[in-house]
Copies of this chain bind each other. A is one copy, B any other.
Amino acid sequence: MDEPAARRPPGRGARVRAAVLGAALAELAEVGYDALTVEAVARRAGVHKTTVYRRWADRADLVVDALTEHVDLDVAVPAAGPIEDDLRAYARSVVAWLTAPTGRAVLAALLSDAARVPEVAEVKQRFFTARMRRAEPLVARAVARGELPAGTEPGDVVRALVAPIYLRLVITGEPVDDTTADAAARDAIVLARSAR
């Protein structure tokens, strides 16, 4: 009862964990969930297959863990200024994350067959709703300040904002950049201001 007491949370095991999760995400990005192989992940992480199985129950569990890692990170919520600026900044941050390598990989994984795994479905739910919810205070503040009509549902505005971004990314495959983000923000505001 001595040598493990030396390192409580850090130590060698943590390095293995990081290496494996990193390898898993990389494989996810390169070959997708269907073709992701525990053996390939282990090889890539420089670790033996059984070492992976000692920590994770199976392929699904490993992927859940790898995705969770990148999903619960906090995203900066800008916060001050006219609603036009705030939404534009938010839209751009969404686009930036989703088009960066890690974001692309996570998004693809969350929409892949992995989503049939209940835990991944949970992660997916958490991921999207949490991110969208984080922008709702911006809208609420604008309503309070009278920039948007009273009675505006913040959730609706945010949905309207992200919808065209995801459409291009996921459905049509069209390129997505800041221009797309700006247009999305503008349209979301137009819709919010159109009396209901």
Contact = CB atoms under 8 A, between A and B. Distances in A.
Query: How many copies of this kind of chain does the complex include?
Result: 4
Interface in A49-63: none
A164 B170 contact: no
Chain A binding surface SS class = helix
A143 interface: no
* Interface size band for A: 20 to 34
A148 interface: no
Contacts of A90: none
A34 B116 contact: yes
Question: Of A34, A114, A166, which is in contact with the most chain B CB atoms at under 10 Å from its CB?
Answer: A34
A187 interface: yes
A27 to B, nearest CB: 12
A37 to B, nearest CB: 12
A167 B172 contact: no
Given A112-B112, A159-B164, A159-B172, 8 more contacts: A33-B113, A34-B116, A111-B112, A166-B166, A166-B170, A190-B190, A190-B191, A190-B194
